[in-house]
Amino acid sequence: MMTKKILITEIIDYLEELFPNADCELNYSKDYELLLAVMMSAQTTDVRVNMVTAILFKKYPNLESLANADIEDIMAIIKPIGTYKKKSQNIIDIANKLLKEQNGIVPQDREYLESLPGVGRKTTNVILSILYKEPVLAVDTHVSRVSVRLGLVNKKDDVLTIEKKLTKLIPKDKINKLHHQLIFFGRYHCKARNPECQKCKLINICKDDIRKPFLH
C-alpha cells in the first residue's frame, strides 16, 4: 500500500508537470492591496475581484485615500463581488487600522492580521505565505475537495484539521507553490462537477467514486 509520503511526492510531481508556473491569480502591486483583494475574494472568484480592484486601486492609489474614501463610492465600485456593503466597510476600516497601528505596513503577525475586520485564518495564511514565505497554506474549497479525493485527508475533517494534516505531510520547501497548484488543479482539472478524470494521471491513487467510469 502506498504511504502518504509517497503519495504526496507523486502528487507534487504531477502538479508540477501540469502547473509549473502556478501562482496567486489576484492582481496587486502593494502588500496592502493583496490583503484587501484576498479579503474581498470571500464567496466570489479571483476574476471578479480583479475586475473591481482594477478600478478601486486606480481611483484610490494609497492607504490614505482608501481610509478617507466615501463608502458609497467604494460600494458602487465593488458591488459585482457580492457582500459588498460589509466588504466596503472592511476596506475603509483596514486602511485606517494599518495607517494608525502599523505605519501602513502589513505586518508578519498572525494575531494582528486575524484581528482585522473580514480577515480570518484563510486570508492570514495567504498573506503569510505570499508576502512572508511562511510554510503555511490556506484551505479553500478546491484544496479541500482535491485533498479528500486523493485520500490525503478524510471527508469529515474540518478546515483546520485539513490544514494541519497537509502542513505536516507536505515538505516545507514545497508548501507555498503546492498551495497554488492544488487550487489550480481543483479550479481547472479536478473540478467539483465533471472533473477531467479521463486524462488525470492520479486516477489510480484517487479515492473518489466519480473516477470509476474512466478506470481501465
Candidates 71, 101, 196, 212: give the one binding ligand SF4 (CB under 6 A). 196
For this structure, is 122 an active site residue?
A: yes
Helix, strand, coil in percent for the chain, rounding step 5: 65, 0, 35
CA 54 to chain CA centroid, nearest Å: 19
For this structure, is 140 an active site residue?
A: yes
Candidates 2, 195, 209, 213: give the one binding ligand SF4 (CB under 6 A). 195
- Candidates 122, 157, 164, 212; catalytic one: 122
In the complex, least distance from residue 143 CB atom to ligand SF4, rounded to whole angstroms: 13
Cell numbers found for residue 110? 498572525
Residue 208 contacts ligand SF4 per CB under 6 A: yes
Query: Looking at residue 108, what DSSP letter applies?
Result: S
SS3 49: helix
Taking CB under 6 A as the binding criterion, the range among 48-56, 117-125, 131-139, 196-204 that sits at the site for ligand SF4 is: 196-204
Alpha helices in 19-138 (DSSP H): 31-40, 46-59, 63-67, 71-78, 84-102, 110-115, 121-132
Taking CB under 6 A as the binding criterion, the range among 42-50, 77-85, 162-170, 195-203 that sits at the site for ligand SF4 is: 195-203
- Within residues 135-194, the interface with ligand SF4 by CB under 6 A covers 149-150, 189-190
Q: At what angle do helices 46-59 and 71-78 cross, to 10 degrees?
A: 140
Written as one letter, the residue type at 102 is Q
Residue 200 contacts ligand SF4 per CB under 6 A: yes
Residues engaged in binding ligand SF4 (CB under 6 A): 149-150, 189-190, 195-197, 200, 202-203, 206, 208, 210-211
Active site residues: 122, 140
